Amino acid sequence: MQPYREMLMDGKEIAERFMTGRIGRRDFNKALGVMGLSMAATLAPRIAAAAPSLTMYGWAGYDVPELHPQYIEKYGASPEFAFFGSEEEALQKLVGGYNVDIIHPCSYNLKRWRDAGVIQPIDVSRLSNWPDIWPKFQVIPQAQFEGKEWFVPFDCGNSSVLYRTDLVDPEDVKDPSWTLLFNEKYKGRLSMYNTDTTMVEIAARILGMYDDYLHLNEDQLKEVQALLSKQRDLLRFYWDDSTQVEQGLASGELVAAYAWNGSVKVLRDQGIPVDYMVPKEGILIWVCGFVRGADAPGDEQAAYDFMDSMISPEAGAFLLEQQGYGHSNRKSYERVSKEVLASLGYDDPEATFATTAVSDEAEDPYRARYIELVDSVKAGTN
């Protein structure tokens, strides 16, 4: 309880931290327990009335108050946050009965989550910022089903090869390719994202099968499995958190890794000499956002207010400037300098998002087979 001893000196400080989103409801309640009944009785009713029950389940790093300023302005505090390490982990927990209000998956998982019965449709007419979402993101195929919307796009970006320009042989990147992450020269100094179907997609691109990545047959999957098994033996580790990649590349432990474009900004801001590849097999584009839990227990209006705040131009500008990811609201880009946009690859946002294509997702039985294959590769059982 050491963190709360300083707060006990001034009960108003606890209230101020809670009301501005610097501590969540759980930590606030702990603090009240330390303070005792008298002070708790004074502060709790006022704050409890302002902050409705709401739980957001997603990736770490998106819980900062700057990403939902209007929500805090209206309710006085951030919602509760819970975190997952991977979307598969989240899905299995939801299937097992974990009940939350809002979840933060990516579009390539929507069909599977909907089929699992863990999410419900969203009424986008209740989102004031919806009209300003990039048009391509409003019509993501897997986000629409039976005339209903199931997904609110929030963040977006690229996945590619991030490498140390001072540690990679220039000859190995003269012809940019995903094969750098399969290069035996760098054994023990490569890293791959701990994902599933994306690994199959990358291998399929390298093997020239990408025209029908969604429907690979067993003979093709044997080639994919062999390539991914080779890569496994070259990797330093599979990463779950992008900070692992950033730290590994910064220290020189890693030479190259699969990475999101946000890590490019992080490392360049530290003065680390890195470059972000545009592979000849194609760069990957992802869009993540919000879904509502099938049996969301919290306040419904608060859930819509939270999602609306996260897709506001103010939140988008913060996401672009501070975290280096793209945002779904086109007006966000008007609030960011041209220099910052250029550093993130958004020299011309209108042109970029007019031509952006969001990949579809593999459906079962193909997806289940891909996951089974990748799990066996990572476990070394093939």
| pLDDT-derived band at 40, boundaries 50, 70, 90 | very low
- What's at 17, amino acid-wise? R
**How does DSSP classify residue 241?**
S
Average the pLDDT over 250-265 and give the result: 93
CATH number given to 55-152+293-350: 3.40.190.10
* Bridge pairing between strands 256-260 and 274-276: unpaired
pLDDT for res 5 = 38
- Measure the CA–CA gap between 326 and 329, rounded to whole angstroms: 9
What is the length of the chain?
A: 382
Tokens for 20, please give them.
């501005």
Query: Phi, psi at residue 332, to the nearest 5°?
Result: -60, -40
Please write the tens of the pLDDT for every residue from 307-351.
999 999 999 999 999 988 999 999 999 999 998 888 787 888 988
Burial class (CB in 10 A: 0-12, 13-18, 19+), 370: buried
Enumerate the domain spans of the chain. 2-49, 55-152+293-350, 157-285+361-379
Partner residues linked to 235 by β-bridges = 190
Answer whether residue 9 shows pLDDT above 80: no
Please write the tens of the pLDDT for every residue from 263-301.
888 899 899 999 998 899 988 888 999 999 999 999 999
| Cα distances (Å, whole numbers) of residue 101 to 54, 55, 106, 299, 301 | 6, 5, 16, 8, 11
pLDDT for res 378 = 94
pLDDT for res 108 = 87
| pLDDT-derived band at 19, boundaries 50, 70, 90 | very low
Please write the tens of the pLDDT for every residue from 87-125.
889 999 999 999 999 999 999 889 989 999 999 999 999
pLDDT for res 17 = 54
Is residue 84 within 8 Å of 59, Cβ to Cβ? yes
pLDDT for res 50 = 52
- What's at 22, amino acid-wise? R
Q: Calculate ∠ Cα 320-180-196, nearest 5°.
A: 65
Average the pLDDT over 41-67 and give the result: 76
Count of C-beta atoms within a 10 Å radius of residue 339: 7
- Measure the CA–CA gap between 23 and 140, rounded to whole angstroms: 35
Average the pLDDT over 14-30 and give the result: 50
Count of C-beta atoms within a 10 Å radius of residue 293: 20
Between these two residues, 49 and 103, which has the higher pLDDT value? Answer: 103
* Angle between helix 218-232 and 366-379 (nearest 10): 30
| Contacts of residue 171, Cβ cutoff 8 Å, sequence gap at least 6 | none
| pLDDT-derived band at 1, boundaries 50, 70, 90 | very low
CATH topology match: 55-152+293-350 vs 157-285+361-379: yes
- Measure the CA–CA gap between 122 and 304, rounded to whole angstroms: 9
pLDDT for res 44 = 46
Please write the tens of the pLDDT for every residue from 207-236.
998 888 899 999 999 999 999 999 999 999
Question: Reduced to 3 states, what is the DSSP secondary structure of residue 119?
Answer: strand
CATH number given to 157-285+361-379: 3.40.190.10
